[in-house]
Amino acid sequence: MGEYTGALFALSLPLIVSGRIDRVSAATGILVGLLALSMFVGGGAATSRFLLLWNEGLSGTLPGTVYAVAAGALALTFVALLRSQQTMAAMGVALLIAGGVGLHNTYQTGLVVAGLAALCLARAARSTAIETAE
């Protein structure tokens, strides 16, 4: 179930980007997705799954294409947030990605908590900016 949840999280993350996604962000997402796909389908498939387990806590039971599209979605979201000057939200996404889904140690848990806090702060700052603009 953790594999599906992690993949769904990554695939749905572009929804937090407000406004339109620009070409640079889309191109970055496509490039990262293609690079990940080449890693999962090419000769390094076993190594890619090992690194996926080691870094993100995912066992790699889903097809490689799912992880490749998820990697592209994560990259697209990060770049789109940076390009729209939502730096706090972009850093929150980066911290969540770095923390992974395993939460096997205090360091990973701290990264996820910091990432969630950054996303909450970004949301609160955006809401405050919208209210003062009205």
Q: What are the tens digits of pLDDT across the range 78-117? A: 999 999 999 999 999 999 988 888 777 888 889 999 999 9
Residue 93's domain comprises 2-133
- Angle of helix 106-133 versus helix 87-99 axis, rounded to 10: 160
Q: How far is CA 75 from CA 1, 30, 82, 107, in A?
A: 23, 9, 11, 23
pLDDT, tens only, 47-86 = 777 777 766 777 777 888 998 999 999 999 999 999 999 9
Number of domains into which the chain is organized: 1
- Specify the pTM: 0.85
Give the pair of three-digit tokens for residue 100: 């992974």
Residue 77: CB atoms within 10 A of its CB come to 25
Would you state the pLDDT for residue 32? Answer: 96
